[in-house]
Structure 1
C-alpha cells in the first residue's frame, strides 16, 4: 500500500476500535511501517486526537528516529499534528522485529483491568499457535518514556501481544488487521476469564 492508502486504513481501523470500546476518550495509538523509494517510514496516529474521529489527513508520517516528514498542509496552510506520545514505543518494536509491519496499542477496559491488577490473561484458542499459555505482563514505566519503549520491545521479541502493567495492551502483526484483531480478541478473552472466575467463585 502507498502512504495515502495506509493513512486511510489507519483512520478506518482507529474509528472501528473506538466503536468497539477498545480506545476510549483520547487513549490508544496505531501505526504501520512502510517503505517509500527505499526509505523506511512509519505512519502513526496523532497526539491528542480521539481515534473516534481521526481522519487520514491527520495521520503523521515519521522516519525511524521519530522525526516528522512528508508534511501535508491543510486548508489553513498548517500541519500542526504531532505523532503519538508513544511513537518511540512503536519504533522500538519495529527496530527489534523486521517481520512486524503494524503496532496497535489499546486501553480496552477488561484487559486493562487485568493489567492494573497484575493478573495474566490466558491465551485462548483463536490467537493462532499457542507457544505461551498466557499473555506476558510487561513491567510498568511511565507512558511516552524510553523506558516503556525498551520494556515493550523486549517483551515483544517473541510475542505478538503483551499486557502493560497499570497501562493497557500492545499487539503487533504482519499487517494492520492482524494487530487490530489481536487487541479485539484479547479483550474478549479477558471477558471470558473474568466471567469464568465469577462463576467459579460461586
Structure 2
C-alpha cells in the first residue's frame, strides 16, 4: 500500500477543489485508488483544511486498513464505482453551486465537446436518493458505467478519471459549463 503517493495527491486535490468553491464548508468527498487500496477523505472534515493523517485507507470491501477511522459517509458510492470500473482511479464528489443549482432545479446541463464524444445532448442525471444510501451508490454506479461524470438530482456532481487530477479537472469543467449555461440562459431571457 503506497500511502506516500495517495495522501499528498488526495490533499492537493481536496485543497484545490475547495479553493475553487466546488466543495464549500464540509461538503464533498474524494478518493483515489492504487491497486486494491482506496484512499478516501474522512467524514465531517472540510476539504480545504484536510491533513494527510486524516485520510482513511480501505480495501475494496470497505474495511479500514490505516489512517483515520471514519471514512466519508459516501464510501459506499465510491466503492460501487471502483468495483464496476477498473479504469477509474480517482473520484471527486462536489456540491458546486451552479451544477448543484441545475441539479436542484432538475435542469439538464448541455454536453460540450470537452466531455468527450457527444453521444447525448446532455450530461447524465441520476434520480435522487438520500446521501450515503445504498440506493444512491447503486444509482451512481449504474450512471457511471458508460460515463465519466453524472449529475445527482437535488444533490451535486460525481466526476471520475484515470487519476484523481483528471477527476478534479472534470468536476471543475462541469461547474464552469453550468455557470456559462446559466449566464447564457439568463442573458437570452433579458429584454433589450
Instruction: Tell me how far apart the structure 1 counterparts of residues 129 and 4 of structure 2 sit (CA, whole Å).
Output: 34
The answer to whether 1:113 aligns with 2:101 is yes
Using structure 2 for the length normalisation, give the TM-score.
Answer: 0.95
Give the equivalent residue in structure 1 for 2:3. Answer: 3
Match of 2:142, SS state, is helix
Instruction: Tell me how far apart the structure 1 counterparts of residues 178 and 74 of structure 2 sit (CA, whole Å).
Output: 24
Give the aligned CA root-mean-square deviation in angstroms: 1.2
1:187 is aligned, of 154, 170, 175, to 175
Deviation at 1:132, TM superposition (A): 2.6
The answer to whether 1:63 aligns with 2:62 is no
> What's the CA shift string for 1:65-88, capped at 9, x where partnerless?
1111134xxxxxxx5x41000001
Q: How does 1:122-161 map to 2 (within 5 A)?
A: 122-161=110-149
The total of aligned residue pairs comes to 190
Deviation at 1:124, TM superposition (A): 1.4
Structure 1: gaps (5+ residues): 72-78
Is 1:4–1:56's contact at 8 Å kept on the other side of the alignment? no
> What's the CA shift string for 1:40-89, capped at 9, x where partnerless?
11100000100010011111001111111134xxxxxxx5x410000010
Instruction: Tell me how far apart the structure 1 counterparts of residues 92 and 103 of structure 2 sit (CA, whole Å).
Output: 16
Deviation at 1:20, TM superposition (A): 0.4
> What's the CA shift string for 1:133-165, capped at 9, x where partnerless?
211110111100011000000011100000001
Instruction: Tell me how far apart the structure 2 counterparts of residues 113 and 158 of structure 1 sit (CA, whole Å).
Output: 24
Structure 2: gaps (5+ residues): none
Higher helix share: 2
Instruction: Tell me how far apart the structure 1 counterparts of residues 91 and 74 of structure 2 sit (CA, whole Å).
Output: 11
Give the equivalent residue in structure 2 for 1:21. Answer: 21
Give the equivalent residue in structure 1 for 2:44. Answer: 48
